[in-house]
Amino acid sequence: MATAPPTSSADAGSPNASDRPAGSFATSEHVREAIAAAATWLELQASSVDALNVFPVPDGDTGTNMSMTLRAAADAALAETTDRAGTVLGAAARGALMGARGNSGVILSQLLRGFAEGSTGKECLTIADVVDGFARASDAGYKAVGRPVEGTILTVARRAAEAAQAAASEVRTLSKLLERVLRVTDQAVAETTEQLDVLRQAGVVDAGAQGYRLVIEAFWRVACGKPIVTDGATTAPAASHALVAAQHVGEGELGFCTEFLIQNPADSVETIRAYVESIGDSVIVVGDSGLVRVHVHALKPGGVLDYAAERGTLTRIKVENMQVQHDAGTDAPSASEGVSNIGVVAVAPGLGFKELFGSLGAAAVVEGGQTMNPSVQDVLAAVNGVGFRELLLLPNNGNILLAAQHAAEQTPRALRVVPTRSIPQGIAALLAFNYEADLDTNAALMSEAAGRVATIEVTRAVRSAQVQGFQVERGQSLGLLDDTLVAVAEDLVEAALSALARAEPERREIVTVYRGADTTEAQATTLAEAVRAAHPHLDVEVAAGGQPHYPYILSVE
């Protein structure tokens, strides 16, 4: 990894921008513009990045996750009204973390966090600051992943840092620095195809690496004054004007969780924030001169509501008694009320799965799964929206694990993430929950139960590809066993049976067929009968999952 260059004494004091040559520094407005441009640039090309998914299944979502993460960063940068570039960059990093979706989004948020670390409070960012930022971004990215793999976004982040450091003494403007970095990242992305066997077989570059290259390209475009292209026309990059969603980041004393919007406030955001902080905690006040969003935990909500009503029009008022939530659990199923002090939050796609997890005792179910990974903020809102101080979180998707872990770091509650990678694993884990056991014991029991379940996902190929030894043609049916492609067939039933044959069916007892949103009960029954005919000893059940993209998900126990 690259080593961050020392910051010169001239940079340490963050001198006024007027003392520097044009093009050699970035102001707060430059930072806002660059992040907004990167968000837009990623949004425009998200589908092409999604298409780089190694598996030819209809859930490649790297580009979508990265663009939504960066849009959250742009919104947060817009809401930060300071004129200090370092502070705006820090706000963007926080926004990216809370809005991070999928593993690629979480890693991107960590790159941005690292980039912001060395610039806290600085009025403008110099070339040295940006070089330092690339190095810190690379370090943060590697630290965010338990087992870093080369040929991914991490490799490109490291190469970008090395390129920035090599160019630091040779360039005089940010545009030239970013041009040098972009040139190296172009090559680094192309080389990922040969660095990982799975990429070589599929004939694609790493999707996350390409996403990060697009971010750097957008930064370079802004530095050069080049517009972002939208629908064939050139437009100046602009951030979304959506406000950052209010975030529950702490609990403090129990009282009332109070949230509202102030339209056309008479006072500035800073003035409103100062008052709210004086009467409560867990304060978040964001917005602009047209709209301000307020979140606060206060023992008496009337005071803050009266104050706000005198300064603008109040809308979307929500006041919740946290003591009542703590004592009973908000919307918690009756099975858990008064029985356990531990709540379970699960992530699941489709109405059928949401109802199933609720019926099994989950205190809250977050909508999400393939192609619709929830953000850190989505998970955190669910965790902090129930009345349990101790919680178990079931992400139920390998691409949601990092977001779940980062959500756990943002809440004061005792939270354990049970690393479930599929819906069947999540269901098995929830069935293993012991109301009489403590938090850590339950986490261990549920993890063990999840590990005993095999998951088969059946779908159709969205493109032709060579992957994991299979030549897949668009439209063919695919069977994945625990995320590994094991069957390619002409119809869904054949793919499911072939995958099941690889799951050691002779050692299994129960198969549950969960039908997708577009699969009829009759079609699911046909598959169930085929399973019974092939494996008479298995107890086969059919249930409505309602999941998109995957006609069938099979739980094999």
**Structural domain spans, the chain:** 20-235, 256-325, 329-451, 454-556
Mean pLDDT in residue range 203-221: 91
**Lowest mean per-residue pLDDT among 22-26, 218-222, 537-541:** 22-26
Top pLDDT among 486 and 278 is at: 486
Question: pLDDT at residue 240 above 70?
Answer: no
pLDDT tens-digit map of 320-337: 665 554 444 333 333 333
Task: Give the 3-state secondary structure of residue 316.
Answer: strand
pTM of the entire structure? 0.64
* DSSP-derived secondary structure letter, 374: P
Write down the architecture of domain 454-556 according to CATH.
2-Layer Sandwich (3.30)
| Selection from 256, 316, 308, 303 nearest residue 281 by Cα | 256
User: From CA 141, how far away is CA 159, in angstroms rounded?
Assistant: 12
Radius of gyration of the chain (CA): 25
- Residue 538 neighbours by CB under 8 Å, 6+ apart: 505, 508, 509, 510, 511, 531, 532
User: From CA 301, how far away is CA 471, in angstroms rounded?
Assistant: 62
Please tell us whether the domain made up of 20-235 is placed in CATH 1.25.40.340: yes
Q: pLDDT at position 7, please?
A: 39
User: From CA 544, how far away is CA 370, in angstroms rounded?
Assistant: 17
**Lowest mean per-residue pLDDT among 11-15, 100-104, 108-112:** 11-15
Contact 551, 456 (CB under 8 A): no
Tell me the two tokens of residue 549: 């993209």
Percent of the chain with pLDDT over 90: 47
Mean pLDDT in residue range 96-105: 87
CATH of 256-325, one of 3.30.70, 2.20.130, 3.30.390, 1.10.1060: 3.30.70
User: From CA 188, how far away is CA 268, in angstroms rounded?
Assistant: 46
Alpha helix segments (H runs only) across 345-503: 351-359, 376-384, 401-409, 423-431, 439-451, 492-501
Task: Give the 3-state secondary structure of residue 265.
Answer: coil
Question: pLDDT at residue 156 above 50?
Answer: yes
| Selection from 205, 165, 166, 213 nearest residue 185 by Cα | 213
| Selection from 420, 285, 297 nearest residue 357 by Cα | 420
Query: Highest-confidence range of 44-58, 177-191, 293-307, 339-353, by mean pLDDT?
Result: 177-191
Contact 255, 302 (CB under 8 A): no
Q: pLDDT at position 50, please?
A: 84
CATH number of the 329-451 domain: 3.40.50.510
Q: pLDDT at position 19, please?
A: 55
Tokens 């370092």 belong to residue: 86
pLDDT tens-digit map of 357-396: 988 889 899 988 766 788 888 888 888 888 788 999 999 9
